[in-house]
Amino acid sequence: MALIDRLIKDYPELTFISDASFRWSPANQQISYNARASGKTSDWALLHEVAHALLSHNHFSSDFSLVRQEVDAWAKARILAAKYNQEIASDYIEDCLDSYRNWLYRRSSCPRCTSASLQIDNSASYLCHNCNFSWQVSRERFCRPYRRTSKTTQPIT
């Protein structure tokens, strides 16, 4: 029996739909998966999305919390993989997590002095601890990390 068939049977509370990519939609309790993809990495991606669902990952409050959810989902996916007689390669997980780490680093790099900084609230605002410059990034997690500054944006002193 294919992994998708086993998951559908084991998790009837979730809806699985064939799509072009793998993702978890908490609003619909729906996991999208690429039915045309095959091989171990497709199974691993599917297990990862099921892990998000089982961990009730409904939203993230900050950029760092999104990265934390990704780490948690991969840990849970490893447990699920064992249940289905699979083992997810550590290198694959680290490559996936690196994409989020790189995304976070680009967003958190100060446009003025390039120091890595911290998000200052649950919006998309950052404040540089080195030069006190503030900026905003897009709330979208899949877009390029544009940093918005304006002539009226001043360093916070």
Please tell me the predicted confidence (pLDDT) of residue 151.
42
Residue position matching structure tokens 């009226």:
152
What distance in Å separates the CA atoms of residue 14 and residue 125, rounded to the nearest whole number?
34
Task: Give the tens place of pLDDT for each residue, 39-82.
Answer: 999 999 999 999 999 999 998 888 999 999 999 999 999 999 99
Is the torsion defined by CA of 72, 74, 79, 83 positive or negative?
A: positive
Tell whether the model's pLDDT for residue 142 goes beyond 80.
no
